[in-house]
Amino acid sequence: QKEVEQNSGPLSVPEGAIASLNCTYSDRGSQSFFWYRQYSGKSPELIMFIYSNGDKEDGRFTAQLNKASQYVSLLIRDSQPSDSATYLCAVKESGGYQKVTFGTGTKLQVIP
């Protein structure tokens, strides 16, 4: 069974700090990686995707991918209370069907 692992948290950071969220995956052939944000009672919202090794920046968000180590991370700079949510890592599996597998999510709390 292909797995995506995340620390469930909660991860607490003070307002203005950098939040670092990590994810590991088991399918070495995976090529597409996603971060979704899910507020309580709401559906997941895509915030970042990354395909290549290295960093990808979008505003306060940076996704980092290391395929050799099979991990992907999300950095949130200048964290705001509005960033408090559960962050889901998702990985598109290799192979013909290319199913997306979601991690269990990390709950982030940004303390004012």
Partner 1 sequence: SAVISQKPSRDICQRGTSLTIQCQVDSQVTMMFWYRQQPGQSLTLIATANQGSEATYESGFVIDKFPISRPNLTFSTLTVSNMSPEDSSIYLCSVPSEGSDTQYFGPGTRLTVL
Residues found near partner 1 in the complex (CB under 8 A): 32, 34, 41-46, 49, 51, 88, 92, 98-100, 102-105
Choice between 71 and 102, CB closer to partner 1: 102
Distance CA 75, CA 56 (A): 10
Our CA angle for 109, 111, 112, nearest 5°, is 140
- Closest approach of Cβ 34 to partner 1, in Å? 6
Choice between 73 and 86, CB closer to partner 1: 86
Q: What is the DSSP letter of 82?
A: G
- Closest approach of Cβ 49 to partner 1, in Å? 6
